Amino acid sequence: MIRFNGCIDDIKTYQTGELPEHAVRIETPRTVDDTMKHAAPIAAVLCLVMSVTVFAKVFFARAAIAPTAVVIGFAIGLALVIVHELLHAVVYPKAASVTVGKLKGKLTFVALASFPMPRARFILMCLLPFVLGILPLAVFVLSPAEAKWLNGLTFGMACVGMISPYPDVYNVLKVLRKAKRTDRIMFYQNDLYKIAD
């Protein structure tokens, strides 16, 4: 079940599922801000990918890009942040309770749940929002060089869609390093746990 909450005060309140006794904490930062700081190198790599892509299209394909369209595309990408969180939420099983909302005092939206999932499904949950970047990026790469408004719009959208999941990539890398393929993964309060079957 997916629920919407306009303002979320405390993540711990929404991530209090049944934690098995044999669950093992995966070492991750305990706050959203700390996670973003630790994941910053991932954001830098994703920015580099976007920079190389736009450079290649402009330099090799002689593409025209309307700067105003980039700004509009960027704004559309930011507006789709709620869709980003819904893409996380839809991967959870029906039995899970997922709360989607905005963190109080921050420009951060979250999808919060505390439900064990197989490692592969957890990874899918984390990475599914990349479709909001991959689709416009594909259109940008394949669009005609002279379609400057389409190029600008899709590049702006792709930037937000490709870079915004960087904290999710951080969680995936932690899980890949620390959990076995057969483990289940779940958030509990501010922590991430693995559960061996």
Please write the tens of the pLDDT for every residue from 136-155: 999 999 999 999 999 999 99
What pLDDT score was predicted for residue 6?
83
Residue with tokens 């890398």: 173
* pLDDT reading at 48 higher than 90: yes
Q: Average pLDDT in the 25-39 region?
A: 92
Q: Average pLDDT in the 6-21 region?
A: 90
What pLDDT score was predicted for residue 192?
96
| Number of separate domains in the chain | 1
What pLDDT score was predicted for residue 126?
98
* pLDDT reading at 56 higher than 90: yes
pLDDT digits (tens, 9 = 90+) for 98-141: 999 999 888 889 999 999 999 999 999 999 999 999 999 999 99
What pLDDT score was predicted for residue 197?
78
How far is Cα 70 from Cα 159, in angstroms, rounded to an integer? 9
Q: How does 83-114 read in b/e, with b if 16+ C-beta sit within 10 Å?
A: ebbbbbbebbeeebebbbbbbeeeeebbbbbb
How far is Cα 97 from Cα 144, in angstroms, rounded to an integer? 44
Q: How far is CA 38 from the centre of its chain?
A: 15
* pLDDT reading at 170 higher than 90: yes
* pLDDT reading at 60 higher than 90: yes
What pLDDT score was predicted for residue 32?
86
The DSSP call for residue 183 is: -
% pLDDT > 70, the chain: 100
Q: In which domain, by residue range, is 172 found?
A: 2-195
What pLDDT score was predicted for residue 129?
98
| CA angle (79 as vertex; 191, 143 as ends), nearest 5 | 110
116 near 177, Cβ under 8 Å? no
* pLDDT reading at 30 higher than 90: no
Q: Average pLDDT in the 44-63 region?
A: 96
